[in-house]
Amino acid sequence: MAEMSGDHTGTEQARASSRIQASIVAKRQGAQLPAADIRGVVDDYVNGRVPDHQMAAWLATIACRGLDLAELTELTDAYVSGGERLHLGRLGRVVLDKHSTGGVGDKVSLVVAPIVAACGVAVVKMSGRGLGHAGGTIDKLEAIPGIRLDLGPDDIYALVERVGMTIVSQSPALAPGDGATYALRDVTGTVESIPLIAASIVSKKVAVGASGLVLDVKTGAGALIPDRSEAGLLAETMLRLARQFGLTCGAVLSDMSQPLGRAVGNALEIKETLSFLRGEQVPGLWEACSVLARLLLQSADPALCDADADARIAKAVAGGAAHERFLEWASAQGADRRVLERPELLPGAKHVVPIIADRAGWVSDVAPRAVGMASVHVGAGRLAHRAPLDHGSGVWVNSHVGSRVEAGQTLAELHYNGGDHDLAVDLLTRAFTISDEPVQAPQMIHQIYPSHGPVD
């Protein structure tokens, strides 16, 4: 019996090997891959019939040759197949999702979700951990004592009904094809492939089951795809792909040429989020958050004009409803509300080192990757897989592009308890460039793709 099983397994592996080899050759020659081949290759890899080296070659060929919309749709569906799905439609209300391609100081999800929920539209957000120089939403939330982020479907449904929102960690059971291939992409130079990024992101959103989605695609030096035209192509590709699956989808092309807001680091970003929701003005953050919140509200109600949407958003913040919604939601997921009401009780740093301007002028650059890596080197991010985080460490950015500074003025602060703080100080010092001439602050929103509008 075991021998028969072994023979059967060997036959399946031989067929799988033949299929993926033929698929690699066909795509290398510019052919369109049949749907059955795409699904077969992904299924073979998920079930262990194809080794890493062959799958890496397949992914690399796609990264080089690309996929058309039909192929991309099949790949996305193959990523979802065999995994769990949420059925948010059972709640009888519009439930929306929001995704960012990530960046330095990007706490937009933490701000936008409670604003939109306070406006009466439900939001379900599945988030991940930090990657490289960019922080992850789950890492930031874990700075809050007691919060639970690994929740099952029933808990998610209950939270949406109770407080109108939830932010949870991504389930490995969702989109298993993407989960199987993502780590391989990370070590084979295929992370930045537009079709592979699009399939990865949209497959998880399809599995989540929201009725609408808004994408925040970052561009600039700190973004996954720095080039604006390439980032625009990614946004348009994901819009088309999401709509293939019936998702109402809009997108924003936003700036990541410098850190977003002042805080970079887990507890620091939670503190800034709470301050923002209490009405504090944060450079750049309001413009990004208000536009994304508006698109989400208009996704739920296409008849809502910009002015009315903006008025609802401003009222939710100014009146305290968005701040209270954050506290209600976090408490419902186990957070200690008393700590959130007194943010100084969140994790902090024993040491704070100021980064000082050596001359007067105008800030012309705040290199986001350098700032992000400075925070990583003091423990706010990971240099090794599964490394523990220091939630109290990070960077506070006092000056942004366009700011006038004087000699001796503090440009930023490094908050640390340990780690390689000397390297972090060097990175931060070199992150700032000061010009003799006035510099214009960068535009935060480069392009808006409305949820119900055409894709250029």
Question: pLDDT by residue (tens digit) across 379-396?
Answer: 998 777 677 889 999 999
How confident is the model over 405-413, as a mean pLDDT? 98
Domain that holds residue 308: 88-342+445-449
Regarding whether 254 and 229 lie in a shared domain, the answer is yes
Regarding whether 353 and 245 lie in a shared domain, the answer is no
Question: Which residue is associated with the tokens 């930023």?
Answer: 412
**Is a pLDDT exceeding 80 seen at residue 452?**
no
Q: Is residue 320 part of a domain?
A: yes
**Is a pLDDT exceeding 50 seen at residue 210?**
yes
Regarding whether 249 and 104 lie in a shared domain, the answer is yes
Distance CA 264, CA 416 (A): 12
Q: Considering its fold, how many domains does the chain have in total?
A: 3
Distances, alpha carbon 225 to alpha carbons 17, 103, 197, 244, 389, in Å = 33, 10, 10, 24, 26
Q: Is residue 8 part of a domain?
A: yes
How confident is the model over 388-410, as a mean pLDDT? 96
pLDDT band at 118 (very low <50, low <70, confident <90, very high): very high
pLDDT band at 456 (very low <50, low <70, confident <90, very high): low
pLDDT band at 101 (very low <50, low <70, confident <90, very high): confident
Quick check: 78 and 199 in contact, CB under 8 A?
Answer: no
Question: pLDDT by residue (tens digit) across 243-292?
Answer: 999 999 999 999 999 999 999 999 999 999 999 999 998 888 999 999 99
243 is catalytic: no
Regarding whether 373 and 281 lie in a shared domain, the answer is no
Among 127, 200, 203, 403, the active-site one is 200
Regarding whether 134 and 234 lie in a shared domain, the answer is yes
pLDDT of res. 127? 77
pLDDT band at 165 (very low <50, low <70, confident <90, very high): very high
pLDDT band at 4 (very low <50, low <70, confident <90, very high): very low
Regarding whether 292 and 196 lie in a shared domain, the answer is yes
pTM for the model stands at 0.90
Rounded to the nearest integer, the mean pLDDT of the chain is: 92
Quick check: 20 and 39 in contact, CB under 8 A?
Answer: no
**Is a pLDDT exceeding 60 seen at residue 313?**
yes
**Is a pLDDT exceeding 50 seen at residue 3?**
no
Q: Is residue 210 part of a domain?
A: yes
Regarding whether 31 and 58 lie in a shared domain, the answer is yes
Quick check: 113 and 123 in contact, CB under 8 A?
Answer: yes
Pair of tokens at residue 190: 């295929």
Regarding whether 353 and 335 lie in a shared domain, the answer is no
Among 98, 185, 325, 421, the active-site one is 185
Among 49, 98, 133, 204, the active-site one is 204
Q: Is residue 79 part of a domain?
A: no
pLDDT band at 362 (very low <50, low <70, confident <90, very high): very high
4 Cα distance to chain centroid: 47
User: Following DSSP, what letter does each residue of 242-295 receive, concatenated?
Assistant: HHHTT-EEEEEEEE-SS-SSSEESHHHHHHHHHHHHTT---TTHHHHHHHHHHH
Question: What CATH number did the domain enclosing 276 receive?
Answer: 3.40.1030.10
Q: Is residue 412 part of a domain?
A: yes
Q: Is residue 338 part of a domain?
A: yes
pLDDT of res. 17? 92
421 is catalytic: no
Regarding whether 269 and 156 lie in a shared domain, the answer is yes
SS3 call for 362 = strand
Question: What CATH number did the domain enclosing 28 receive?
Answer: 1.20.970
Share of the chain above pLDDT 90, in %: 76
88 DSSP assignment: G
Regarding whether 311 and 373 lie in a shared domain, the answer is no
How confident is the model over 190-218, as a mean pLDDT? 91
Q: Is residue 73 part of a domain?
A: no
Question: What CATH number did the domain enclosing 425 receive?
Answer: 3.90.1170.30
Distance CA 268, CA 346 (A): 9
> Which range has the worst mean pLDDT, 124-138, 180-194, 397-411, 422-436?
124-138
414 DSSP assignment: E
27 is catalytic: no
Regarding whether 146 and 58 lie in a shared domain, the answer is no
Regarding whether 318 and 363 lie in a shared domain, the answer is no
Distance CA 23, CA 41 (A): 8
Among 39, 99, 125, 140, the active-site one is 99
Task: Say if residue 59 is exposed, middle or buried (CB neighbours under 10 Å; 0-12, 13-18, 19+).
Answer: buried
205 is catalytic: no
436 is catalytic: no
Q: Is residue 454 part of a domain?
A: no
